[in-house]
Amino acid sequence: MSNKGKCIKNICVFCSSSDYLDVIYYKDARELGKLIGQNGYNIVYGGSTLGMMWACASEVKNNGGKIYGVMPKRLVDLGCKTDNCDEFILAQGMRDRKQKMDDISDAVIAMAGGFGTLEEFAEMLVQKQLGFNKKAIVILNTNGYYDELLKFFDKMVDDKFANKFTTNLFYVASTPQDAIDYINNYKEPLSTPTKHDVYSR
């Protein structure tokens, strides 16, 4: 299958760099990477050989896709950089890293991860909420990892801290195939968010 003719080419994947997780998380990361490559996409990721990040990225490359790694200088100096990227982009800090990843990606998938993954996902969601991007944003909810967070999002809406419109800006996928199917069929919204969309409750 190919994504020829689609505007989406590079998928940014946010996920854990931990090497100490249950095997189910690495399994889904490898499967997602395989599907990204087989569907004609490339990956934008953190640039290391650690955890779910590398489990996913290596499978993208094994299945015909390219790897774009983006890493801040501090982590490079700590020895986290891999030499396996098709293109490696050096960032000065974490904010710069997120900007560079945003600039070169056309869609976003957040897999299971820690505080960094949560921060990255939240920033991309707010960018879309305010109309700075129209990208497909997906949470891959492996093993129900994000169930409690999704309940918290509902509480934000119920208690009027957020608009229901915001929770419609991302898709929750149960499997890697589900995530890729959503991206394959994604159509950018024709309009940008209105003041009512953002601020009404």
Distance CA 20, CA 17 (A): 9
Distance CA 66, CA 64 (A): 7
Q: Which residues pair with 88 in a beta bridge?
A: 69
User: Which tokens is 159 given?
Assistant: 């208690």
What does the angle CA 114 – CA 101 – CA 161 come to, to the nearest 5 degrees?
55
Q: Give yes or no for a contact between 81 and 157, defined as CB atoms under 8 angstroms apart.
A: no
**pLDDT per position as a tens digit, 152-197:** 999 999 999 999 999 999 999 999 999 999 999 999 998 999 998 8
Taking phi first (over 0 means left), then psi (-120 to 50 degrees means alpha), and beta for anything else, what does residue 64 get? left
Question: Is the residue at 1 inside a domain?
Answer: no
Sheet arrangement for strand 171-173: 87-91, 67-72, 42-45, 10-14, 107-110, 136-140, 171-173
> Letter for the amino acid at 32?
L
Question: Is the residue at 5 inside a domain?
Answer: no
Sort strands 10-14 and 42-45 into parallel, antiparallel or unpaired.
Answer: parallel
pLDDT in the model for residue 150: 98
Q: What is the CATH number of the domain that holds 24?
A: 3.40.50.450
pLDDT in the model for residue 4: 43
pLDDT in the model for residue 5: 39
Question: Is the residue at 155 inside a domain?
Answer: yes
Total tally of structural domains belonging to the chain: 1
User: Which tokens is 168 given?
Assistant: 């419609």
pLDDT in the model for residue 6: 55
Question: Is the residue at 91 inside a domain?
Answer: yes
pLDDT in the model for residue 7: 79
pLDDT in the model for residue 128: 97
**pLDDT per position as a tens digit, 188-197:** 998 999 998 8
Question: Is the residue at 4 inside a domain?
Answer: no
Report the predicted TM-score, pTM, of the whole model to 2 decimal places: 0.94
Handedness of CA 17, 43, 34, 170 (dihedral sign): positive
- Which residues form the domain of 65? 10-199
For the chain, residues with pLDDT lower than 70 are 1-6
